[in-house]
A and B are shown apart, each in its own frame.
Chain A
Amino acid sequence: MNEVEHLAHAAHESSLLPWIILLPLLGAILNGLFGKRYSQKTVSLIGVGSVVTAFVLSTLEVIRLAGLPEGDYLSVDLWRWFSAGELNVELSFMIDRLSAIMLMVVTGVGSLIHVFSTGYMKTDEGYARYFAYLNLFMFSMLLLILGKNLLVLFVGWEGVGLCSYLLIGFWFSDMEKAEAGQKAFITNRVGDLAFLIGTFILLFYSYGSLDFVGVGGAGGLPQTAAYLGDKAPGMLTLVCILFFIGATGKSAQIPLYVWLPDAMAGPTPVSALIHAATMVTAGVYMMARLNFMFALSDVAMTVVAVVGALTALFAATIGLVQNDIKKVLAYSTVSQIGFMVVSVGVGGFVGAIFHLMTHAFFKACLFLGSGSVIHALHHEQDIRKMGGLKAKLPVTRWTFLISCLAIAGIPFFAGFFSKDEILFFAATAHREGSNPMLFVYIVSVVAALCTAFYMFRLYFLTFEGKYRGDKHTWDHAHEEPVMNWPLIVLAGLATVGGFVGLPHFLHAHALEGWLEPIFGWLYEGEHAIFHVSHSAGLEIALMLGSVLIALLGIAFAWRLYMREKLPEAPVDAWWHKLLMNKYYVDEFYDAVLVRPLRATASFCHRVVDVRIIDGLFVRGSARLVGAVGDGLRFFQNGDVQAYVTAIVVGIAAILVVVEYLL
């Protein structure tokens, strides 16, 4: 079991790799330090240029990777970051077939969103600061996906958290926005706490190495995981669960998802980039990266699948009733990442990465579309005050509609393929001697039904019907050309992006082939862990079922919202209150965590520190000394006879003590 040769591949030096990472950092530094003195044009040039160049370089490197023998990777070691005792961690990066996909998504979608931002933010006084933060985010995200060991990944992991904090609170003069940023950072830190403990345990067992790939199949985390799986499966499960808790923070899963809806306080392109397409999927990427570890723990994987499914459903139900265009999308994101987590949990790592990619396309498009709407309507976000916008915002409308079709799972848009792959795995994948997790499948299907409904509710209320806002806003509503074409590109990708992963019965799953060197061992060969159905009939039946579900959801939305008089929301119904208040989870956390923490802090300060330690002990002992001094004054009375008596008695006492006790 200690064999990990199936994960061993050769490394090739890459000289471009450091530049891919450094360019956005350079952009951030320039715009951050000198941006105020630059013209808006220069700021845009630096901000967008650095990311687009990184995208071009990434493309070149990925093409080079595709030409290498299957499974080999590009890497670069910069310097020894930590070296103490047995700990040895290099600052090193790699592009393998898994990180290549992330690299293309992050720099590609990132470039589009940077371009979009030049239009969206053009009247903001913090223009340079905005691009500095956005570039800094790209830098951190690249560290995260290109890190060759767990610790470099962690630098990016916390770095994106910092950028998220800065960007959510970008308009810091609004205290609510600053609070949302802080909440995001601290909630993420709770997850990071588990991540760190997991890392420390791994460090103990791996003799100080945290590399994702061993050299020649030996050492590194794969071997540690195999060793633990063999000798200490309980410890392995614990470590997996710790890392999964880390993932629930960054990827907004139960119980740590609460920061993401609040994170919508940031500028909308930020929500598209960070809180939809890239950063929030980092947890899924991390688990896929550590597939050699997660796959070995049955218990941990089951936990992952169940939590993912529950999150998918839970967030989708909240999305049903929200009225803020961005909040609907935010809960939709939580729910969609839930699908990816389900996929990881049932062993469908390819499906998880596939959905991560298609989701990046259509969700970025949706968020940017909402940004276009918000921009056109002077920061109106309430869909009850929208309607009929297709007349004013044609490009936004069409791209938004395409993305809605994609997320709902209508053939043959991108989301259809990736979501069906996840559902197919949930329904059929199983380990030797156990059954598929049907519970997870059913919950996911219900979540998919909700998804189709709330997305089309959103679409109908925004773009169809009659406009319900004030006339002045309507008259001024228009689209910005520079913001249109990122939408078009993303909608194009949301349309065709799914064809890289055609259903299994066609035997033309390009993505699966590409990722074979990373995940192939899980399904075939002597170390295979998961078994999937190979029945074409079953796959087609499941597929038809989910199309039906999607159509059903859309039909519901159509009946309710495509008519002259919109239905009154049942605001008094208990279930509506429950959903509107997001199941009172924030209130629950406030009562159980936040307030007790404040109370404890205040108690420690007021009572323990001031009264007990300082008051009773420190000043108390000072007072005691004073009192004893007063008492001793009695002896210092100038009476020599008394002194002599005391001396004699004292000496006698000492002699007695010395004689008898020592």
Chain B
Amino acid sequence: MDLSQATEPAASGSILLAALVFLPVLGAILLAFIPREQTAAHRGLGATIAVLVFLLSIPLLTGFDASVPGFQPGTRLDVSWIDAFGARFSLGVDGISVWIALLTTFITPLILIGAQKAVEKRVREFVIAMLVLETAMLGALFATDMLLFYLFWEMMLIPMYLLIGIWGGENRLYATVKFVIYTVVGSLLMLVGIIWLYLKTGETGAPSFAFERMLSLDLSATEQGWLFAAFGLAFLIKVPLFPFHTWLPDAHTEAPTAGSVILAGILLKMGTYGLLRFAVPLFPEAMGAFSPAILVLSVIGIVYGALVAFAQGDVKKLVAYSSVSHLGFVMLGIVAFTQQSVEGAILQMVNHGVSTGALFMLVGMVYERTHTRKITDYGGIAKSMPVFTLLFIIVTMSSIGLPGTNGFAGEFLILSGAFLDALFVPPGAGITDWPMLATVMTIIAVTGVVLGAIYMLSMVRRVFFGPITNPENAHLKDLTTRERLVMAPMIALIFIIGLFPTSFTSQTTASVEQLMTVRPRIEVVRDKSERQKIRAEGARTTLAPRVGAPERVAGVAPGPEEE
């Protein structure tokens, strides 16, 4: 990486994104020079750097032009990197990545402040791992060069491996090995796919890893299918989509609080982000072909994740399985692929990061006091920890999507968008026809709303309510000021997003609209049904009576309505 070449004519853009990406890792290098014994310095400096990164990321939002589809021109960076391969160091941010990037810079300092007490051994290495991880995550979110993306993508793995492997629980080795093997298997196939695409760009000029070049490739259906499978596997394992999810509960349970929060908060989103950013626009026809399978697996994930969560006796495992269920909703939003559902999916990625991140933080806080995660070891602690209980119930409500909280905003957009895609079901449609399948699946998905309430409230009841059965819990200390300060921003976000979701989705609208231009290509493959013909014949209005509005293609926002 030689940034001095930025003076070359081919280079352009602002330094902001690069600064965001490199500031954490530079901080990590600095920390390496401070003696290992000075743990206070490591903690303080680490948190300071993370806060600085957050402050530095605010211009991403303030300077964001919501009317621009695609990467923001103001923050685009493109400098030469490995000229021999046509790989460039190019970064960009758009409506799809901006909120997840901000969530990353927002959550990292909270973890570094919040995990101060929990981590006692190898503090320096812990802080360094966290900072390197932040660099990797931001890099993967900003990269617009596929080789660069892949580099950052794999770079995320190492600190995460160390987080679980060094600071994890008793069974941490098993969990790390499973986590690493699972993810590496997925990513290696993606690398093959990236190289294939790279070679393919060579047919129309100098071979390049630039995402834009790959977007304009003309790929055959077979090619798309294989490439989508390669990319998709990497992303879907990360999500994780049922049945590729079993690494997650182990990783979550063994990871220290910091690891769980970052895993739930950001890392899982890399899967859904990757799908939206790369897999769908690069291979839309393949997305259409795979849609039924992904849809069914997503909805199975919603229901199955909830059921398995209900059967857990370990709080952390329960929350981990709830992630499987929640990410199923995000996947549903992506696979339904309407403007509404994709905006909802992006919002829900942030929401899940906030809510589940907050849940893991809270679970971590009580774990530090009791050193147990078993639900049966608790009971009645609402009496001894009233503030903790209040916060936990608020986060629970957000997790089960109570209107007014962020969880509802995301789920509502996703589900209403999914219905918009699924309806109208033409008469005589079979279960394999998309409208019928999508309608049935979306209705099943809505039951997740009830199942979520069942497993979360059962857990809340058993942990917080009833008499105090375990005498050790009678005198638990309620949250300290530091813990309250760590939780406050998360709780605030729950309500801010819940009440003003439009302030968040409006940044994503233009980019999602641009994404929606591939929708017809998905539909052609996916909607093998009567509806396809009806749409083609323009006779839809007679079969799907909708109130006096212009004919439109589902998912694309219609122009201003005129009566």
Using a CB–CB cutoff of 8 Å, the interface residues on chain A facing chain B are 2, 32, 79-87, 91, 151, 154-155, 157-159, 162, 165, 169, 172-175, 178-179, 182, 185-186, 189-190, 192-193, 196-197, 199-201, 203-207, 218-219, 223-224, 227-228, 230-232, 597-598, 600-602, 604-606, 608-609, 613-614, 617-618, 622
Contact = CB atoms under 8 A, between A and B. Distances in A.
A223 B547 contact: yes
A196 B411 CA distance: 11
Contact of A227 (B397, B424, B501, B545): B545
B546 interface: yes
A34 to B, nearest CB: 12
Given A179-B461, A228-B545, A193 B420 contact: no
B54 interface: no
Contacts of A219: 547, 563
A602 B419 contact: no
B323 to A, nearest CB: 14
Contacts of B415: 196, 200
Contacts of B390: 32
What class of interface size applies to chain B in its complex with A? 35 or more
B419 A204 contact: yes
Nearest to A196: B446
B446 A175 contact: no
Contacts of B466: 172-175, 178
B498 to A, nearest CB: 10
Contact of B340 (A85, A227, A618): A85
A206 B420 CA distance: 11
B417 A186 contact: no
A81 B310 CA distance: 33
Main SS class of interface, B: helix
A603 to B, nearest CB: 8
Interface in B396-451: 397, 402-404, 408-409, 412-413, 415-417, 419-420, 423-424, 442-443, 446-447, 449-450
Given A201-B423, A205-B545, A172 B402 contact: no
A605 B246 contact: no
B409 A186 contact: no
A273 B465 CA distance: 24
B447 A193 contact: yes
Nearest to B555: A85
Given A186-B457, A227-B545, A602-B311, A84 B446 contact: no
B403 to A, nearest CB: 4
Contacts of B500: 79, 81
B40 interface: no
A158 to B, nearest CB: 5
Contact of B403 (A158, A172, A201): A158
Nearest to A194: B446
A602 B443 CA distance: 24
A618 B505 CA distance: 38
B522 interface: no
A30 B97 CA distance: 38
B502 A85 contact: no
B403 A85 contact: no
A172 B446 contact: no
Given A175-B465, A617-B243, A182 B557 contact: no
A84 B546 contact: no
A203 B454 contact: no
Given A174-B466, A622-B181, A83 B419 contact: no
Interface in B304-349: 304, 307-308, 310-312, 338-340, 343-344
A200 B416 contact: yes
Interface of B: 178, 181-182, 243, 245-247, 304, 307-308, 310-312, 338-340, 343-344, 380, 382-383, 390, 397, 402-404, 408-409, 412-413, 415-417, 419-420, 423-424, 442-443, 446-447, 449-450, 453-454, 457-458, 461, 464-468, 499-502, 505-506, 509, 545-549, 552, 555, 557-558, 561, 563
A79 B312 CA distance: 41
B465 A82 contact: no
Contact of B311 (A165, A185, A189, A601): A601
A608 B245 CA distance: 12
A604 B561 contact: no
Contacts of A600: 307
B563 A218 contact: yes
Given A81-B500, A85-B343, A85-B417, 6 more contacts: A79-B500, A82-B409, A85-B339, A86-B552, A206-B546, A219-B547
26 contacts: A82-B502, A84-B343, A151-B403, A158-B408, A159-B403, A159-B404, A162-B397, A169-B465, A174-B466, A178-B461, A178-B465, A186-B457, A193-B449, A196-B449, A199-B416, A203-B416, A204-B423, A204-B546, A205-B547, A206-B547, A207-B546, A207-B547, A227-B545, A598-B311, A601-B307, A618-B178
Contacts of A192: 449
Nearest to A129: B386
B467 A189 contact: no
- Among B413, B468, B546, max chain A CB count under 10 A is at B546
A613 B244 CA distance: 8
Nearest to B379: A175
B308 A605 contact: yes
Given A85-B557, A178-B465, A227-B547, A154 B457 contact: no
A66 to B, nearest CB: 32
Given A85-B340, A185-B453, A196-B415, A173 B446 contact: no
A608 B301 CA distance: 13
B304 A604 contact: yes
Contacts of B304: 604, 608
Contacts of B338: 85
A617 B310 CA distance: 23
A260 B145 CA distance: 59
A196 B452 CA distance: 15
- Among B245, B446, B506, max chain A CB count under 10 A is at B446
Contacts of A230: 545
A84 B415 CA distance: 13
A172 B465 contact: yes
A201 B382 contact: no
Contacts of A606: 311
A84 B505 contact: yes
Nearest to B174: A619
Given A602-B311, A605-B311, A606-B311, A87 B413 contact: yes
A182 B545 contact: no
Contacts of A172: 380, 382, 464-466
A51 to B, nearest CB: 20
Given A85-B340, A189-B450, A609-B246, A173 B465 contact: yes
Given A190-B450, A201-B423, A604-B304, A83 B506 contact: yes
B330 to A, nearest CB: 15
Nearest to A206: B547
Nearest to B309: A601
Given A80-B502, A83-B502, A223-B547, A613 B453 contact: no
A489 to B, nearest CB: 33
A580 B174 CA distance: 55
Contact of A82 (B413, B461, B547): B413
Contact of A85 (B408, B420, B450, B548): B420
B343 to A, nearest CB: 4
B308 A604 contact: yes
A3 to B, nearest CB: 12
Contact of B547 (A87, A186, A224, A604): A224
Given A197-B443, A205-B545, A604-B304, A84 B450 contact: no
Nearest to B509: A84
B408 to A, nearest CB: 8
A640 B408 CA distance: 66
B407 to A, nearest CB: 11
A186 B311 contact: no
A82 B406 CA distance: 12
Contact of A158 (B402, B413, B465, B549): B402
Contacts of B461: 169, 175, 178-179, 182
